Amino acid sequence: MDWLIDLLPSGAAVGNVLWLLVTFLLLLLVVPLAALGLPGSWLVLLWCAGTYVAGGSAVSLWWLGAGIAVAAAGEVVEHVLGIAATKKGGGGKPGMWGAAIGSLVAGVVGLFVPPPVIGAILVAMLGAFIGAFAGETYFAARSKKEALRPAVWAAGGRLAGMFAKIMSSGIVALLVAMDLVMDWILPE
C-alpha cells in the first residue's frame, strides 16, 4: 500500500495546483468582469497580494506593483474620459459633475440590466448622458438644445473610458500571467 501513497500528490502539490487553477480562472474573468463594470483587475491583484502576504512567492512585488499601477491608471482614465468629453462638447462644471455622478449611479444600476455586458455599457452611457444633460439644463441654465451636445459627448466619453478600463484589465491579466509563466520557465 505504500506505493499508492507515494503516487498520490502531497498536500503542498495539491495546494499549488488548486492555487494555479483559481488564479487562471480569475485571469480568465478579469476582462469580462471589467466589461460588467466590476473590479476584475482588483480582484486578481488582491488574490495575488494575499498570496504574497501569506508567504507565497508566485507573483513578485515588481509585477504586482506594475499591475496595481496599470489598474489604478485604468480607473482614473475611465472616469476622466467621461468628464473631459463633456468639457470637449462644450459643457461646464455642472455638466461634468452630472456626467460623473450619472455614470457612477448608472454603473451600479447597469449591473442588473440584461444582457449582462451590453446592458451595463448602455446604462452607464445613458447615465452619463442624463447626468450631463441635467447638469447643463438645471444647474447651468442652458437650453435643452445647448445641453444636448455636452450630454452626447459625455456618453461617448463614458464609452471610451469603459473600453480603456477593459484594456487596462487585460494588461493586468497579461502582467500576472507573464509573471507566472516566467516563474515556470525560469525558476529561481
**Taking the domains of the chain in order of start, what are their residue ranges?**
2-185
User: 8 pLDDT exceeds 70?
Assistant: no
- CA–CA distance, 55 with 167 (Å, rounded to integer): 30
Is pTM beyond 0.85? Reply is no
For residue 111, the 8-state DSSP code is G
pLDDT at 13: 53
User: 17 pLDDT exceeds 80?
Assistant: no
Per-residue pLDDT of 58-73, as tens digits, reads: 778 888 899 999 999 9
Distance set, CA 51 to CA 16, 82, 85, 112, 154 (Å): 11, 35, 39, 32, 40
pLDDT at 131: 93
pLDDT at 4: 46
Distance set, CA 155 to CA 53, 96, 106, 107, 151 (Å): 41, 11, 12, 12, 6
